[in-house]
Amino acid sequence: MQTAPVPPSGPGNGPSRGTPAALPDLASLAALRAWHEGLTARAAVTRYLAHVRDNGQSSRGVIARIRRQLVACATARQRDDLIPLFTGAAVTRMQCAAHVVAALDALRTTQVPAPRPADSVSRWLTPRTARALSAAGIGSLAELMLFLPRRRRWWQPVPGLGAAGARAVMAFLETHPKLTARAARVARLADQCHTEGHLLPPWSLASLPATLDGSQGRFRAPRETCGLAATNDVEAIGAWLGLHESAHTVRAYRREAERLVLWAVVERRLPLSSLTAEDATAFRAFLRRPVPAARWLGPPCPRTSPAWRPFARGLTPRSVAYALAVLRALFAWLVHQHYVVVNPFAGVTVRGARPRTPFDAAHALDDREWKTVRAFADRLEHAGWKSSAADRLRFVLDFGYATGLRAHEFVAATLGDIDVDTRGNWWLGVSGKGAKCGRVALPPLARDALRRYLRSRGLPVHRNRWTPATPLVGALDRDQETGQRGMHDTSGRTGISATRLRQVVGELFQEAAEHVLARNPALAAKLRHASPHWLRHTHATHALNAGVELVAVRDNLRHASIATTSTYLHGEETKRARQVSAAFRRRSPLQSRRGDTFRPTQ
């Protein structure tokens, strides 16, 4: 979304002082309303703006400047739907007077959204500056922030930008300290890649020297008895990962294995196959507090970036226990294949790692909280979301709430997975945990959400015209002119990843938290920790509260045990607590006095 040029401040242009976010003053708005209600430009300006009007100034020019400033206000608030009301022909102004008044009220109540790293530069900077940056390969604010620290006169390699354009860019960044703080942190981490804190990137593990690749590992089993063709530790890990078909499992296991290999090579100067039990206990302490921080900790960023680090923070006891369990399983398999002769992680435990419960009641939204989030989702366009992205997010909310799908099941589902039985019931075939196949009932809420979403994507609504390979959740095309939130779905045949789904839903919960912070701080704090999996918990809780049988909810969620589903019955616990409290009420003051007074018998 391009930023409209801001008209210079002047008489009749209100207290904008050159900023597109400021509305015209009340006198200017009164003159504009009078003009829309039928007064001529001269009569409206004379009545309301005579005290600031210069001699010889055109009344039509004053009205035009007010309208241009309103266009800039709407652009800054990402309300492009209001711009036609301020750019229409003068002869038709009286026909849209009421709509203009409503548009002014909307601009007063709409806040200017904060810029995000993924936003296009054309959305926040002037067209000339954005074109110069885009020609140099800088299309987003994130790319701009990574480009700035490279040199002092950073604008010189950008043809057409110049020092004046660079000053405008820096002025924009100075007004948004969160962006500049992130840029400084990324730059600092990038500089440390070439200093003492340099970390061996994981993609170079395949080219380690012989003393570190495990080919000469201390605990390697005799080659003639090994059941693997792997010649080094990285190849052995790859063979172990190849046993698992789930992409989610492979990604999680690879992360833990790479962390161990990196730590062994960088900190211990040992290959994986030379680690001892003492090394395993040292690694356990390292997971809780990765030091030095400059070498191991960093913000999330692409793995190809020089600022990439294996950790964002130290792990919790539960996460440490999970990591050690994965590594214990890895070494157990390597011992079984006679690749190594010892398992250094055997018997290594974690203190404070509580067993994970299948459900936490705090990770579900009650009926009122859900309605608050859903009402906020209906106003996403007012918060700066493009209609295509907002439609997709509303579909994810409604469909996920109505079905309880996991994130990886959601993004893997296609229209061809939907079936209708002979009784007219709709079902969605999914592949859940452990590649177990199952069917999920599609209630009317899910079907209606799907129809609306398909219509917004320009895809057929009727089943007999569907393309089976079309994913339920479509990807949005990145448009350098509009930025990430201005993406639009053209083909409808490309899906998104589970990571992207979690990111989008997480952004919604974060913005909803900011929206309700003033009137409901407790809900805001809760939403800041919400994730897409909360939709699954909310689905199960609301289904049981609505009277759906426990067995039906278990089958729809595809739980292996009904005990897991029973953890969602916290409504029954509330009922139990209420009934017990009613049976054992507090003693009244009169009963207390009678009980405390001793009256001897005569």
Are the C-beta atoms of residues 113 and 151 closer than 8 Å to each other? no
Residue 78's pLDDT is 73
**335 — pLDDT class (breaks 50, 70, 90):** very high
Residue 157's pLDDT is 75
Q: What is the mean pLDDT of the chain?
A: 78
pTM of the model: 0.51
Alpha helices in 337-443 (DSSP H): 367-377, 387-403, 407-412
pLDDT digits (tens, 9 = 90+) for 20-39: 567 888 888 888 989 988 89
**593 — pLDDT class (breaks 50, 70, 90):** low
Are the C-beta atoms of residues 213 and 233 closer than 8 Å to each other? yes
Residue whose pair of structure tokens reads 């339920």 in the numeric block: 472
Residue 276's pLDDT is 94
**239 — pLDDT class (breaks 50, 70, 90):** very high
For 271-309, letters b (16+ CB in 10 Å) and e give bbbbbeeebbeebbebbeebeeebbbbbeebeeebbbbb
Report the alpha-carbon distance of residue 505 to residue 511 in Å, rounded.
Answer: 10
For 3-22, letters b (16+ CB in 10 Å) and e give bbebbebebbbbebeeebeb
Q: From start to end of 377-482, where are the E strands?
A: 418-420, 426-431, 437-441, 477-479
Residue 256, pLDDT above cutoff 90: yes
Residue 324's pLDDT is 94
Residue 133, pLDDT above cutoff 90: no
As given in the structure block, the two tokens for residue 286 are: 């390292």
Looking at per-residue pLDDT, the higher value among 68 and 602 belongs to 68
Residue 436's pLDDT is 72
Nearest to 381 by CA among 81, 105, 87: 81
Report the alpha-carbon distance of residue 453 to residue 324 in Å, rounded.
Answer: 43
Any idea where the domains of the chain sit in the sequence?
A: 26-109, 121-192, 202-336, 362-573
pLDDT digits (tens, 9 = 90+) for 37-89: 889 988 888 888 877 766 667 888 888 889 988 888 887 777 877 888 888 88
Residue 572's pLDDT is 54
Are the C-beta atoms of residues 441 and 421 closer than 8 Å to each other? no
Looking at per-residue pLDDT, the higher value among 432 and 276 belongs to 276
Omega cis (within 30) before 355: no
Are the C-beta atoms of residues 196 and 186 closer than 8 Å to each other? no
Residue 188's pLDDT is 55
Residue 4's pLDDT is 38
Residue 240, pLDDT above cutoff 90: yes
Report the percentage of the chain scoring pLDDT > 70: 76
List beta partners, residue 220: 340
Looking at per-residue pLDDT, the higher value among 401 and 185 belongs to 401
Residue 210, pLDDT above cutoff 50: yes
Mean pLDDT of 251-267: 91
Residue 184, pLDDT above cutoff 90: no
Residue 598's pLDDT is 46
Report the alpha-carbon distance of residue 477 to residue 489 in Å, rounded.
Answer: 6
Looking at per-residue pLDDT, the higher value among 389 and 306 belongs to 389
**530 — pLDDT class (breaks 50, 70, 90):** confident
Residue 61's pLDDT is 87
Report the alpha-carbon distance of residue 13 to residue 108 in Å, rounded.
Answer: 16
Residue 2's pLDDT is 37
CA angle 157/163/165 to nearest 5° reads: 90
pLDDT digits (tens, 9 = 90+) for 146-156: 677 655 677 77
Report the alpha-carbon distance of residue 251 to residue 180 in Å, rounded.
Answer: 32
In this structure, whether the domain defined by 362-573 belongs to CATH 1.10.443.10 is answered with yes
- Determine the angle formed by the axes of helices 498-516 and 387-403, rounding to 10 degrees: 100
Residue 481's pLDDT is 31
Residue 302's pLDDT is 66
Report the percentage of the chain scoring pLDDT > 90: 20
Mean pLDDT of 364-375: 89
Residue 189, pLDDT above cutoff 60: no
